[in-house]
């Protein structure tokens, strides 16, 4: 039985939602722009007036300005699990969960997942390949990639791309989004033949089609490190190359785009496996853990000080054995002393993320403080996903 109080409350809620005629546009705009962006897009459905106010480009500019001012130009971000190799050992409650940190109110409850995409099988979670300007590039599989999706996880908008023209077992993928235009670039992760040329495929949202071209590569027998995500920096895409210990770069908007380029890594690096690239506060960085089997390990971080001269500057060098023993003994077993780099903080130079003793941990390079972010950590693949101040909408496909 519905009580009189419940009836009155329902009538009051309807009145609040419907009768806003006495609220001027400027005041309603001021109220709406203080709401979390995830909720704002839902409130477009309240009324035609709200839809028009929120859809106005002026509202987006106003919201972005307020966010940037309040956050001191540090945009909200989070760590996302890219994909899981051994799904059978992962608890069923974690399979759809893709978030590592909980500081963002937009991803607070009920949590973040990609189950709104058409492909979301529990026995094979969808893979996150790259991010750009608040959008994610995803694929159904790690090998033989053919079904790509671009999505905005905050507003759960997505599109499927046409299938690439050629089936390739393993590809290095890049993703660039600027304004309403985006591009996906891919090429084979390895080349074992005698030729110094390779087939590079590009999808452009402006044409709605894939096109391919033959480009030159400075080395014939390259091998891309696929467990390190691609990095977009200074207009170019960057991939770690394993066989020659270089960085392969490609600028899709430079001239005829007929070649890949090589970039040097720091001369005094030591690790061939436990390393990754990243960007922190607009600076290009290289992060490694020395991969010695015995004895103390080092954590090292370099910053690119001169892009044209490819000059690196060592920022941090920390020995694990002398820095962590007191903190670690409290919560991580000593027999799980396996350490690997996972991500760089996009806004803080001092903070890095590591896999350590079955946990995802954050480590402050300045204070030497170690904190557990996520226990029972099953994935070695993380992506630092920075939100755009105002959600990037994906133009409806015309193909």
- Tell whether 325 is covered by a domain: yes
Residue 337 has pLDDT above 70, yes or no: no
Give residue 105's pLDDT band: very low, low, confident or very high (50, 70, 90).
low
| 92 SS3 class | helix
Residue 36 has pLDDT above 90, yes or no: no
- Tell whether 9 is covered by a domain: no
pLDDT in tens, 220-241: 889 998 878 899 999 999 999 9
The pLDDT > 70 percentage for the chain reads 77
Do both 49 and 166 map to the same domain? Answer: no
The rounded distance, in Å, linking the Cα atoms of 51 and 65 is 20
Do both 281 and 136 map to the same domain? Answer: yes
Contact assessment for residue 161 and residue 203, using Cβ atoms and an 8 Å cutoff? yes
The rounded distance, in Å, linking the Cα atoms of 186 and 145 is 10
**CA trace torsion 364, 367, 370, 373 (10° rounding):** -50
Among residues 110, 345, 228, which one has the least CA distance to residue 98? Answer: 110
Residue 163 has pLDDT above 90, yes or no: yes
Average pLDDT over residues 78-107: 62
- CA geometry: angle 158, 76, 314, nearest 5 deg: 115
12, 39, 69 - which closes a domain: 69
pLDDT at 54: 84
- Tell whether 106 is covered by a domain: no
Do both 290 and 355 map to the same domain? Answer: yes
Do both 211 and 328 map to the same domain? Answer: yes
| 13 SS3 class | helix
- Tell whether 252 is covered by a domain: yes
Do both 38 and 161 map to the same domain? Answer: no
Give residue 391's pLDDT band: very low, low, confident or very high (50, 70, 90).
confident
Residue 135 has pLDDT above 60, yes or no: yes
39, 69, 99 - which closes a domain: 69
Q: Which residues of 259-285 are buried (b: 16+ CB within 10 A; e: fewer)?
A: bbbeeebbeebebeebbbbbbbeeebb
The rounded distance, in Å, linking the Cα atoms of 355 and 229 is 16
The pLDDT > 90 percentage for the chain reads 37
CATH number of domain containing 215 = 2.120.10.30
Do both 54 and 134 map to the same domain? Answer: no
pLDDT at 179: 81
| 70 SS3 class | helix
Residue 63 belongs to what domain range? 25-69
Give residue 86's pLDDT band: very low, low, confident or very high (50, 70, 90).
very low
pLDDT at 70: 58
Average pLDDT over residues 180-192: 92
CA 54, chain centre distance (Å): 27
Dihedral sign for Cα atoms in the order 317, 320, 321, 325 = positive
pLDDT in tens, 259-279: 899 999 999 888 878 899 999
Greater confidence (324 vs 154) lies with 154
Greater confidence (383 vs 104) lies with 383
Greater confidence (293 vs 319) lies with 319
- Tell whether 50 is covered by a domain: yes
pLDDT at 329: 45
Residue 290: which residues within 8 A CB-CB, separation 6 or more? 270, 271, 274, 297, 298, 300
Do both 49 and 82 map to the same domain? Answer: no
The rounded distance, in Å, linking the Cα atoms of 77 and 382 is 13
pLDDT at 227: 79
Do both 217 and 129 map to the same domain? Answer: yes
5, 40, 69 - which closes a domain: 69
Average pLDDT over residues 64-87: 67
Conformational region of residue 2, where left means phi above 0, alpha means psi within -120 to 50, and beta covers everything else: beta
Looking at every residue in the chain, the average pLDDT score rounds to 81
- Tell whether 8 is covered by a domain: no
Greater confidence (103 vs 332) lies with 103
The rounded distance, in Å, linking the Cα atoms of 46 and 187 is 46
pLDDT at 4: 59
Do both 304 and 193 map to the same domain? Answer: yes
Q: How far is residue 159 from each of residues 96, 151, 156, 317, 393, measured CA to CA in Å?
A: 20, 7, 10, 44, 11
Dihedral sign for Cα atoms in the order 102, 106, 110, 113 = negative
The rounded distance, in Å, linking the Cα atoms of 291 and 293 is 6
Average pLDDT over residues 336-346: 83
Residue 67 has pLDDT above 50, yes or no: yes
Q: How far is residue 242 from each of residues 128, 185, 285, measured CA to CA in Å?
A: 21, 20, 17
pLDDT at 346: 93
- Tell whether 293 is covered by a domain: yes
pLDDT at 325: 46
| 68 SS3 class | helix
Please provide residue 51's backbone torsions phi and psi, each rounded to the nearest 5 degrees. -60, -45
Average pLDDT over residues 101-112: 56
The rounded distance, in Å, linking the Cα atoms of 137 and 143 is 15
Number of domains, the chain: 2
Do both 343 and 311 map to the same domain? Answer: yes
- Tell whether 194 is covered by a domain: yes
Average pLDDT over residues 59-78: 68
Q: Which of 73-77, 299-303, 329-333, 392-396 has the highest mean pLDDT?
A: 299-303
Length of the chain: 399
Do both 220 and 336 map to the same domain? Answer: yes
pLDDT at 103: 58
Cis upstream peptide for 383 (omega within 30°): no
Q: Token pair for residue 370? A: 């170690």
Do both 126 and 253 map to the same domain? Answer: yes
Quick one: 98 exposed, middle or buried, by C-beta within 10 A (0-12, 13-18, 19+)?
Answer: buried
Give residue 378's pLDDT band: very low, low, confident or very high (50, 70, 90).
low
Cis upstream peptide for 294 (omega within 30°): no
Among residues 179, 168, 229, 232, which one has the least CA distance to residue 205? Answer: 179
pLDDT in tens, 318-331: 887 644 544 444 44
């Amino acid at each position: 039985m519905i009580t009189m109080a419940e009836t009155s409350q329902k009538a009051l809620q309807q009145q609040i939602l419907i009768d806003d005629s006495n609220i001027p546009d400027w005041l309603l705009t001021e109220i709406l722009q203080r709401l979390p962006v995830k909720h704002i897009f839902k409130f477009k459905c309240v009324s035609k007036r709200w839809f028009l106010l929120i859809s106005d480009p002026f509202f987006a500019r106003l919201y972005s300005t307020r966010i940037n001012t309040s956050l001191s130009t540090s945009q909200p971000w989070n760590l996302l699990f890219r994909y899981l190799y051994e799904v059978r050992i992962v608890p069923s409650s974690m399979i759809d969960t893709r978030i590592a940190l909980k500081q963002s109110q937009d991803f607070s409850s009920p949590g973040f997942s990609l189950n709104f995409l058409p492909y979301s099988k529990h026995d094979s979670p969808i893979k996150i390949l790259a991010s750009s300007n608040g959008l994610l590039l995803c694929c159904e599989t790690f090998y033989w990639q053919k079904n790509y999706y671009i999505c905005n996880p905050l507003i759960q908008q997505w599109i499927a791309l046409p299938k690439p023209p050629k089936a390739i077992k393993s590809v290095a993928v890049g993703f660039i989004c600027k304004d309403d235009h985006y591009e996906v670039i891919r090429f084979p992760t390895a080349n074992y033949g005698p030729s110094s040329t390779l087939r590079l495929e590009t999808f452009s949202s402006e044409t709605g089609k894939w096109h391919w071209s033959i480009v030159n590569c400075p080395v014939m027998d390259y091998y891309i490190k696929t467990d390190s995500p691609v990095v977009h920096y200074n207009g170019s895409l960057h991939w770690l190359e394993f066989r020659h210990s270089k960085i392969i770069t490609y600028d899709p908007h430079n001239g005829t785009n007929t070649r890949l380029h090589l970039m040097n890594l720091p001369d005094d690096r030591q690790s061939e496996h436990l390393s990754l690239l990243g960007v922190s506060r607009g600076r290009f960085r290289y992060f490694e853990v020395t991969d010695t089997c015995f004895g103390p390990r080092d954590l090292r971080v370099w910053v690119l000080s001169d892009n044209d001269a490819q000059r690196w500057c060592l920022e941090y060098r920390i020995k694990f054995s002398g820095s962590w023993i007191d903190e670690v003994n409290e919560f991580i077993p000593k027999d799980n002393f396996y350490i690997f780099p996972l991500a760089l903080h996009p806004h803080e130079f001092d903070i890095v993320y590591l896999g350590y003793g079955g946990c995802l941990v954050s480590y402050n390079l300045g204070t030497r403080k170690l904190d557990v972010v996520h226990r029972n950590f099953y994935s070695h693949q993380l992506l630092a996903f920075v939100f755009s101040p105002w959600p990037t909408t994906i133009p409806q496909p015309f193909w």
